[in-house]
Amino acid sequence: MPTLKKDSFWLVCLTLAFSLILEAHGQVTRTLPAVTSSVVVVVGATLIDGTGAPPVPETTLVIKDGRILQIGRRGEVPIPAGAQIIEAEGKYLIPGLIDAHVHYNAPFLHRLYLAHGVTTVRDVGTSLERILTLREEIARGNILAPRLFATGPAINPRSVKAMGLSSAREMTLKLAEAGVDGIKVTGYNEEELKDILEVAHAHGLLVFGHTRLDPGALRAVQIGLDGIEHVTDVLEDCVEQNPPFPPDFDWSNRDHFFRYYYSQLHRSVNRTKLDQIIQLMVQNDVYLDPTLVNYNRGFVQRDTPELAADPAFRYMPKEYDRSNRYGHYGPEDRQQWEKTFALMQEATYKFFKAGGFLLMGTDSQAAAPDGALPGWSMHQELEFFVGAGLTPMEALQTATFNNAKVMNQEKDLGTLETGKYADLVILNGNPLEDIRQTKSIHLVIKDGLVLDPQKLLEEHLRHYGERGRP
Sites of contact with Zn ion (CB under 5 A): 363
Provide Rg for the chain, Cα atoms: 22
CB of 32 to Zn ion, least distance (A): 30
Q: With respect to Zn ion, which residue has the nearer C-beta, 42 or 220?
A: 220
Q: Is 199 exposed, middle or buried (0-12, 13-18, 19+ CB in 10 A)?
A: buried
Q: With respect to Zn ion, which residue has the nearer C-beta, 154 or 443?
A: 154
Q: With respect to Zn ion, which residue has the nearer C-beta, 264 or 362?
A: 362
Question: Rounded CA gap, 99 and 345, in Å?
Answer: 18
Q: Is 359 exposed, middle or buried (0-12, 13-18, 19+ CB in 10 A)?
A: buried
CB of 227 to Zn ion, least distance (A): 13
- What region does 52 belong to: left with phi over 0, alpha with psi -120 to 50, or beta? left
Cis ω before 369 (30° cut-off from 0): yes
Q: Would you say 228 and 184 are in contact if contact means Cβ atoms under 8 Å apart?
A: no
Q: With respect to Zn ion, which residue has the nearer C-beta, 236 or 363?
A: 363
Q: With respect to Zn ion, which residue has the nearer C-beta, 181 or 363?
A: 363
Positive or negative: CA dihedral 205, 208, 209, 210: positive
Question: Rounded CA gap, 194 and 55, in Å?
Answer: 44
CB of 458 to Zn ion, least distance (A): 29
Q: With respect to Zn ion, which residue has the nearer C-beta, 363 or 383?
A: 363
Question: Rounded CA gap, 206 and 193, in Å?
Answer: 12
CB of 364 to Zn ion, least distance (A): 9
> Which residue is closest to Zn ion by CB?
363
Question: Rounded CA gap, 241 and 265, in Å?
Answer: 10
Question: Rounded CA gap, 236 and 352, in Å?
Answer: 19
Question: Rounded CA gap, 124 and 132, in Å?
Answer: 12
CB of 361 to Zn ion, least distance (A): 8
Q: With respect to Zn ion, which residue has the nearer C-beta, 104 or 260?
A: 104
CB of 153 to Zn ion, least distance (A): 12
CB of 262 to Zn ion, least distance (A): 15
Q: With respect to Zn ion, which residue has the nearer C-beta, 363 or 423?
A: 363
CB of 344 to Zn ion, least distance (A): 15
